[in-house]
Structure 1
């Protein structure tokens, strides 16, 4: 049964990677302004990341530390929301997860739980919005903790790195029963084309995923020609930094 997260939206999916940043205009990734820009461009899906501040607020921020985005070497977990808001004020504004869900009711959020400390809070925050949220994480443990905290609500989900690694092995070995077990309870596989020398995305993986009722989303693709090629292969979603261009090329 298809999850509401995937119903009633344009196909192929265009997932705005960390919103629609514009560093030349002072708009940082994952900022409130970047989410608003993705929404204004027509994006139905926004991919973002979840950390928690020292005073317990879940914020949309990718890195463990602020160094790359604001120049502050401290960890997100060691700074208060007020301090973070001050640093992000000229970079598009910080968005808490609660604010993003409330202020953008038309957006479907793809949330990567980066920090273990954020997992349960993320689950509780998205419980009332489960029909428009997909929870994922590189850590299957973080993802499961968030899903448990959201219960009895059922957000969509994509597996973590350990499960995906096993799935790639299952596909390579031709073990369809094993692959199907690994995809049980999963709504989408969100994967890179390659991991080092290993090809993750293959026609067999796409075919088996579709037969199991699971979509395939590929990250992070910014070349328009390659986006089109992937859609021709059968890929259902493209995670991209160029959501505006992708929407124009793929859905209009």
Structure 2
């Protein structure tokens, strides 16, 4: 296996103590050798993109309410896992200027804000923008183009991935209906997918081969056990996102793809 073809993403940083999506979690991942970080943003009531996954703050902080209904100052006073503050996306860019960041836009308000921040920090070559919403992803790329900003790589949303997966199930021999999606696939760099959706397997060798035929990468989330990591590497995936940094490092080391090499 070519070690340059596999990327290791630290999902929300590395936080076995629960302090996910904090600067401390990302620092812990970087200290362990991760060059690629995965994160999320939601917009505060006063229009600041905050590094946070959930719609509500209740699960990981002592606070209550929606992120969108709290100001950035109110959010900054909360503590994740009772000790770490919630950072802004700009703080993440500034704190880790050499890291590659995959950011999931969780709301529409973040679209222009993240575009402006990526451009201001000249980070278009190290940020990949993701969203479950294909509409939001298109809005992001259109915003960049309309304002003369450098292009930023984006990943496919749920509808495009769903169509690609389902049409692939009917592909046999010369009958390859998924190819009708080729024009849409050209606008994204990767399909970011779970191993399976409910009882339905998503990441199979055939799925990966179809994506590669279309010139797209396959990134898989969130994989925390060694057996599944090995199976995915055997299937030829391009990236794995994990909460278990130690396990992934062990598997990647035994496969000769650690430490990370090359840029993505």
Specify if TM > 0.5.
Answer: yes
Q: Does structure 2 conserve the Cα–Cα contact (< 8 Å) formed by 1:16 and 1:47?
A: yes
Q: Does structure 1 conserve the Cα–Cα contact (< 8 Å) formed by 2:164 and 2:178?
A: no
Q: Does structure 2 conserve the Cα–Cα contact (< 8 Å) formed by 1:38 and 1:244?
A: no
CA distance in 1, matches of 2:245, 2:137: 25
Runs (4 or more) in structure 1 with deviation over 6 Å come to none
Gaps of 5+ in 2: 172-176, 259-264
Of 194, 197, 201, which aligns to 1:195?
197
CA distance in 2, matches of 1:93, 1:22: 16
1:1-252 to structure 2, matched below 5 A, reads 10-23=4-17, 28-88=19-79, 90-127=82-119, 128-151=122-145, 152-174=149-171, 175-250=177-252, 251-252=257-258
* 1:187, distance to aligned residue in structure 2 (A): 0.8
Q: Which residue of 1 aligns with 2:174?
A: none
CA distance in 1, matches of 2:247, 2:152: 28
Q: Report the 3-state secondary structure (helix = DSSP H, G, I; strand = E; otherwise coil) of the residue aligned with 1:67.
A: coil
Aligned residues: 241
Q: Per the alignment, do residues 207 and 153 of structure 1 end up closer, same or farther by CA in structure 2, a change over 3 Å counting?
A: same
CA distance in 1, matches of 2:232, 2:64: 38
CA distance in 2, matches of 1:58, 1:16: 20
* 1:146, distance to aligned residue in structure 2 (A): 2.1
CA displacement 1:56-111 (0-9 Å, x = unmatched): 11011000010101132210011111211111274322211111112101110001
**Which of 1 and 2 has greater Rg?**
2
Tell which deviates more after alignment, 220-229 or 167-176.
167-176
CA distance in 2, matches of 1:223, 1:235: 16
Gaps of 5+ in 1: 1-8
CA displacement 1:148-185 (0-9 Å, x = unmatched): 33333111111111111111122112214224234112
* 1:230, distance to aligned residue in structure 2 (A): 0.7
CA displacement 1:21-52 (0-9 Å, x = unmatched): 132xxx51101111111111111111100101
Q: Which residue of 2 aligns with 1:3?
A: none
TM-score, length of structure 1 as denominator length: 0.90
* 1:126, distance to aligned residue in structure 2 (A): 1.5
* 1:206, distance to aligned residue in structure 2 (A): 0.7
Q: Over the residues paired in the alignment, what is the CA RMSD in angstroms?
A: 1.7
| Greater helix fraction, Structure 1 or Structure 2 | 1
